[in-house]
Each structure stands twice: as C-alpha cells, then as structure tokens.
Chain A
C-alpha cells in the first residue's frame, strides 16, 4: 500500500488558537480515510490544508509526493473537493456549474459535457439540469457539490461532511456511489458526524479533538479496543445510581454517563443486566458496541463540560 498523503507534525494556528496541533497521519492509496471529532476539532482545517486553501503554520504535508505549500496547482489538479460550506455558483444553472468548474480544471469541452451529464445521472439530478442553484433543495445542493468534485476525475476525493442534510435515500445513494468510486481505485478522505457512515465507509479513521488525534485505526479495531463487544444502557437518575452500579459490578467494567444515559461496556450486556436486576433500573437496553460509543468515550467528557 502506497502512502498518498502524509502529514508530519502538522500545525495550524489562528492567532493563538491551535486549530490543528502537531498532527501526524498517513493515508494510503485507494483507502477510505475518515476524520471524526466534535465541532471545532479541526477536521475542516485539515481538509483545507490538503486542498491548499489554508497554508500550514508548521509541519509538512505531502499530497501525491507534492508539497502543498510549494506546488498548490499540482496538488489541486488531482483533487476533487466537496467543501463543508456550499460554494455552488448561484449565477449559473446546475449544468452550468459543472461545465464552468470543468474549465477551471481544463477538461476538454466534449469530454466535460459527457462527464457532466453522467455525473448528473449518477447523483439523480438530471431533472434539475437547467434549474438555477437557488431553486435546489439543501440535499440536492450537496449532491451537486459531490458531482462537481468529480468533474476532473480526481485521484483523491475530499469530502467534508458529504451527507449532512441528506434524506435517508440520498444518503444511501451517496454511500453506494462512494463504494463504487472506492472500487474504481480512488482514494477518499471523509469527515462526518454520522458514526454509521464512518463505520460503513471508512477503512481507517482518526478520532480527534482540540486539534489533536486521540486515536486511530479501523472502526472494528477501535470499537474492540475501547469498548468491547456490547453495551448496556440505562436511564441516568443521579450519581448515587452510578455508584450503586459500580459497586454491583466491581472495577472490571467501564461505566460512563453522558447526558441522560448511563453506559456499561461489557462483553455480554445480557449477563451484566442480570447482575443489576436488584437495582430496578429504568429503560434498560442491551445492544452491540458501536463507533459512537468510542466517539463519546474519547471526546464525550469535553462535550459535557
């Protein structure tokens, strides 16, 4: 597996605030790589450094062997960029957006028209071809942004929250298209707040907070290392209840509480629940451990603060 993006001790400071704080990561050719973390973690800042919109304060960032500071044009030529913020051209139609964008990438005219039509088809936007951007729904805009990001046949596709605001059908559509793209060999970098999305799509991901990477690995690996197999959830009443659960189970279990729920991480939720029967717990639920549990465990406390 060849590394296609490498960051070494990457730093981005905005007058004093470290948005990205000495980060290292390597993304391999052909993989789907995710960046997860709460609002303000620094995900978008990393994306922007990769597509040469934000210059790093320090450290090194290589994309396909090119330094983002020294060769921005070369880097941007091989990237498809789907930004978090809508940057569609409101003065043009749906089709006009794709054609105009293809010119920035110097895609030859006939080829660009063919690709534009194919991408509209792929994103189920053919009917909206001649509509101006203002008259698209939020989800259609996001799909058009994805189509626009593919107009130059990128080697690396950067998706900053690609499915935020999409309805379930559209989200599944995007997921299946991304899987196809991955199978065709393209490298995909993704940020998301949907754990299910990260779980389904990402080969590897990093969890970050406050500009730092907390942990990295495959979704399965992260869940196994941090949580185990299953989770028992009960309603939070007060800290005394958490104490009672702890007393009943002993030190071997990790018990956490975020918001109005208490979580017990275990290998068998059912067996653990039976050991807590005497407490008359409310709204008990037993389920499989998920990436969301890892996310909350690693970043949860700061959210509660």
Chain B
C-alpha cells in the first residue's frame, strides 16, 4: 500500500461493506420507509405554506417553490452526515464491526468507503421520497428535475467524507452533538436553503459560499426549473470538496484504527 496516496487502500471490497449495511437496512425496512416521506411533508406544510404565505415571491418563485428543491438538497447533506457520524461511530466504537471487517482482506479504506456509499444510498432514498412529495404538490417545474434523483446519490458522496473525518477524531459518541450544532445547523439555515444568501452580510455570504450545501441547493434549484447549464460550476465545487475530504477521511481513519 502506498503511504503517500490515501486512495490506494480503496478496493472493490468496499462494496461488500455497503452490502452488509444494505442487508441490515432491509431487515428494518418497514420502520425506515415512512419517516422520509413525513419529514418533508411537515416542512412543506409548515414552512412552505404556513410561513410562506407571509413571504413575498423570491426570484420569481413563491416561497414554497423556493424551498421545495432545497428540502431535497438538505437530505443530501443530512442523510450521509447522520450515517457517517452516529452510524459509523457506533459500528467502530461499540460494535467492533470495523475490527471484524479489517481482520479480513477488507481494508480500513474499504470500510470507510462502504460507509460513505451507504450514506449516499440513504440520501438517494430520502431524496427520492421528498421528490415524490414535492411532485405531488406540483412544485416540480421541469422534467429535467428528474436528474435530481441520481444526483442525490452522487452529491451525497461528497458529504460522507466530511462526517467520516469528524468521526475519526472523536473519542466518544456525545461529541457528535457538536457536529450537529456547529456544522449541520448553520449549513441547514444559512446556505441559501430558506432564504437567499444575498440577505446575509457580505462576510457571511463569503462564508456561505464555501458551504457545500450552498452549491447542492443551487444545483437542485437549477434542475428543478430545467436550467441544466447552470449546475456545472457548483458540480465542480462539489467534486473538489468531495475528493479533498475523502482523502483526509481515509488518511485519518487509517491513523486512528491501525495504531
């Protein structure tokens, strides 16, 4: 294994790790399928129609049209963030599942990658659920919006590594709270999800620009109105961000697990 290239420990075996998570997921299917539909429904009703009735149109969109694609974007972030913090930490620390896996030809990099893949799978599932809900409310404006569905998986691959990197540092599960409070909540609120970032002071706009969710929301909004050409700069940013954090997460997890 090449020590200078953190990606070199990754192999097709990460798929077996993904399969393990998939098997476990299928066992609890009946309980995990309903909440992804209800959550966005409540947001749409509460924020979109309730709060939105008091808000004037934004960039030619009604408020509910404005936040609908952002709801899809937000689970592209939250699903892998949850999976690769709480889920991964429990498996690594309490269940010793990581230990069991890396005693086989599966490498720690494969384990990390499998968890990231699974986080993306969860985002695909939840994103699709939201998409169905907003479609039902007539909030999908273009057939091109269907591309959001595969992108739920692809874009979520950039978030899993960020969560994994954080998980590689924490000594106990309660540290996950900091991640939720300091990373997820600010992004969820200030990355152009519920109001355009132009409402923020200039310095905060600059900070918001660096948030991956800002770019994910842009992509979702552009696709929802069929503006395919508008997504590429944001896509590029997501790829760079994803590869950067993926390398860091792989390197850090190896350091943590193989001492």
Q: Which residues of A contact B (CB under 8 A)?
A: 14, 51-55, 70, 72-73, 76-77, 79, 81, 83, 85-92, 96, 100-101, 103-106, 152
B1 close to A104 (CB less than 8 A)? no
A76 close to B20 (CB less than 8 A)? no
- Cβ proximity bits B69-108 to A, threshold 8 Å, 1 near / 0 not: 0000000000000000000000000011101111111110
Q: How far is the CA of A91 from the CA of B96 in the complex (A)?
A: 12
For residue A79, which residues in chain B have a CB less than 8 angstroms away from its CB?
103
A81 close to B23 (CB less than 8 A)? no
A72-B1, A100-B20, A101-B104 known; A85 vs B96 contact (CB < 8 Å): yes
Interface flag for B29 (CB, 8 Å) = no
B13 close to A104 (CB less than 8 A)? yes
A96 close to B23 (CB less than 8 A)? yes
Q: Which residues of B contact A (CB under 8 A)?
A: 1, 13, 16-17, 19-20, 23-24, 27, 95-97, 99-107, 258-259
A91-B24, A100-B23 known; A73 vs B95 contact (CB < 8 Å): no
Q: How far is the CA of A104 from the CA of B19 in the complex (A)?
A: 10
| Interface Cβ pair total, 8 Å cutoff | 70
Starting from the known contacts A89-B95, A96-B23, A104-B16, 13 additional A-B residue pairs (CB-CB under 8 Å) come to A70-B1, A72-B107, A73-B107, A76-B103, A83-B103, A87-B96, A90-B95, A92-B23, A100-B20, A103-B20, A104-B101, A104-B105, A105-B105
Q: How far is the CA of A14 from the CA of B101 in the complex (A)?
A: 23
B105 close to A87 (CB less than 8 A)? no
- Residue on A nearest B106 in the bound complex, by CB: A104
The 6 closest A-B pairs by CB, nearest first: A104-B104, A87-B96, A87-B100, A81-B103, A91-B24, A103-B16
Q: Distance (Å) between the CB of A231 and the closest chain B CB?
A: 40
For residue B258, which residues in chain A have a CB less than 8 angstroms away from its CB?
53-55
Can you list 8 pairs linking A and B with CB atoms under 8 Å apart?
Answer: A14-B259, A79-B103, A87-B95, A88-B100, A91-B95, A92-B23, A100-B20, A101-B100
